[in-house]
A = this chain, B = another copy of it.
């Protein structure tokens, strides 16, 4: 722990949403402070951070002042403008590093990276224009899904191509943005592995969780996931190979499709991940603390699981159910957002379903 941040040191976090909020809380457990950089006012993380900078990602002076005031920089989302990262990295280490960000910011780069590691992924093709689209359709076939290469999340920036006739409209939906056509994968269910890699190269992965989505947004994650012992091992080895190849420092979410032909990597997220929220009540050290430990140069903690958990996101009007949830054997995690809009993640609940199986 010679390079570990001492008590009272400050972690700079880009982004002040619920992930930044829960990272701040985890930092406090280790005696560390956080400073949030966020363009929006009154972000959820501000309630529990020692300092907040409200500024745009193109405000170079604000970025410099922020970077100079912290000891290390991390982030809660991957779509940080490259120009901002260029400024920040002159001052302090950014963890996870630029390679992980560059890889995950662009679906095409990410797919080529995963393929290069010898991992199974869905068939894909680059689509920059109508000509590419024709070629891509002949390579990938239908049904398929057209996705923007950059800035997509929670199902945004995606259009289905059920038959060749849908393709023109799907391309129009991309509004000229470079895109990737992905073939459908015939999977039975989706799982994700939350993996962590320390500054010392040690890797620790949580038990895979099984994800169910509704309307493109994660609905529940259940641990343990339905996986055979060998699938479980494969899932963890896939995550570890990605972490090592990127010389990653921090926590990463790796989404996998389970198919009869094995596990197919869907996508990676270079940050704490919604599908890892169950660790807050299923493990002694949760994903948020594991991430803080990694970026602060601490040894990773013990991520073993003591309980079976079902995590459910509370979206929009789901907040009306808090009254019923509160007295049950469940842990509520609310983000302090004032207004419950449709589709807005307001909190989540970890329901304990028993001791770890």
Binding site for B on A (CB under 8 A): 1, 4, 7-8, 21, 24-25, 28-34, 46-50, 281, 284-285, 293, 298-302, 304, 306-307, 319, 322-323, 326-338, 346-347, 350, 352, 355
- Asked whether A25 lies within 8 Å of B7 as measured between CB atoms, the reply is no
- Asked whether B328 lies within 8 Å of A8 as measured between CB atoms, the reply is no
- Asked whether A48 lies within 8 Å of B24 as measured between CB atoms, the reply is yes
With contacts A307-B306, A355-B355 known, is A8 near B338, CB below 8 A? yes
Task: State in angstroms the CA–CA spacing of A8 and B336 once bound together.
Answer: 5
Contacts of A7 in B (CB 8 A): 319, 334, 336-338, 346
List, sorted by A's number, 16 A–B pairs whose CB atoms are closer than 8 Å.
Answer: A1-B322, A4-B323, A7-B319, A8-B337, A25-B28, A28-B48, A29-B332, A31-B336, A31-B347, A33-B336, A47-B50, A284-B350, A285-B331, A293-B326, A300-B327, A301-B326
With contacts A7-B334, A31-B335, A284-B352 known, is A326 near B47, CB below 8 A? no
Contacts of A338 in B (CB 8 A): 7-8
With contacts A8-B338, A338-B8 known, is A29 near B326, CB below 8 A? no
Most chain B beta-carbon neighbours within 10 Å: one of A21, A24, A332 = A332
- Taking a contact as CB atoms closer than 8 A, the residue among B8, B30, B299, B347 that contacts A327 in the complex is B299
Task: State in angstroms the CA–CA spacing of A298 and B7 once bound together.
Answer: 34
Task: State in angstroms the CA–CA spacing of A48 and B10 once bound together.
Answer: 13
- Asked whether B47 lies within 8 Å of A306 as measured between CB atoms, the reply is no
Q: How close is A71's CB to chain B, nearest CB, in angstroms?
A: 14
